[in-house]
Amino acid sequence: MTSALPSASASVLDLAPVVPVVVIEDAADAVPLARALVAGGLPAIEVTLRTPAALDAIRAIAAEVPDAVVGAGTVITPAGVADAVGAGARFLVSPGWTDGLLDAMKTSGVPFLPGVSTTSEVVALLERGVSEMKFFPAEAAGGVPYLKSLSGPLPQARFCPTGGVSLTSAPSYLSLPNVGCVGGTWMLPADALAARDWARVETLAREAAGLRAR
C-alpha cells in the first residue's frame, strides 16, 4: 500500500506510530535502508540533514522507494527547507524554530513539525496557527510527565516526541492523547547499519510498527 501525504495540511503524525530518525553517511545505503523500514511497516522516514550524503539520500529514496514518505530532519534554516523540498522531501522536521524558519516551512508546500521544548514555544506556535510539533529533546525536556501536563491546558497541540525515546518508553508516550507518533533510532543500531544488515533493520522496524496495537 502506498503511503501518501497529499498536501501541507496532511498529518505526519498519523502515518505510523514511529518515525525512524536516520543519519545516512553513504547515499548508496539509502534505498535498501528505506526499503527495509517500509517492509517493516514504517513508511515515514526522517533523513536528518547532518551529513553531506543527506540530500542525495532523500533524492534516492524519493525516486526509488515509492511506498516511503521521506522527510528531512534537522532542518534549521530557510535554505535547508528549500534544499530538502527540492531533493524530494515530503515533510520537514526541525529541532527548534525561529520566525524565519517557520515562515519558510509554512510556505514550503509540505507538512512540517517545528521543534519545541517549553510551554511558551507551544503557545507561540498555536498563536501562529501551528498545532502539530516535534517535542525535543523529549526525555531531557521532561518526557511523558511533561507532555501529560500539557494535554490539559493545551489539548489542541499534538506532538512527535523525539530524543531519548526507546522501545521501552515509546508505549508510554503513545498512550498520551496529545502524542501522534514518536521519533526514534533504536530500530537502526549502529552495528546493523555498518554490516548493512537490512533484514535485522526490517525486523526491528516491524516490532516498532506494532507498538500502536499494544
- As a whole number of Å, the end-to-end CA separation of the chain is 23
Residue 46 known to be catalytic: yes
Q: Which of 25, 46, 139, 148 is catalytic?
A: 46
Query: Do the beta carbons of residue 122 and residue 141 sit within 8 Å?
Result: no
Q: How far apart are the C-alpha atoms of 189 and 162, rounded to whole Å?
A: 16
Which CA distances in Å does 125 have to 97, 112, 159, 207?
9, 12, 12, 33
Closest to 147 (Cα-Cα) out of 133, 126, 129:
133
Q: How far apart are the C-alpha atoms of 58 and 204, rounded to whole Å?
A: 22
Show Cβ contacts of residue 3 under 8 Å, excluding neighbours closer than 6 positions: 15, 43, 44, 67, 68, 69
Cell numbers that stand for 184 in this block: 526514534
Q: How far apart are the C-alpha atoms of 67 and 105, rounded to whole Å?
A: 24
The length of the chain, given as a count of residues = 214
Edge-to-edge strand list for the sheet holding 69-73: 112-113, 92-93, 69-73, 44-48, 18-22, 182-184
Residue 134 known to be catalytic: yes
Q: Which of 134, 139, 202, 207 is catalytic?
A: 134
Catalytic residues: 46, 134
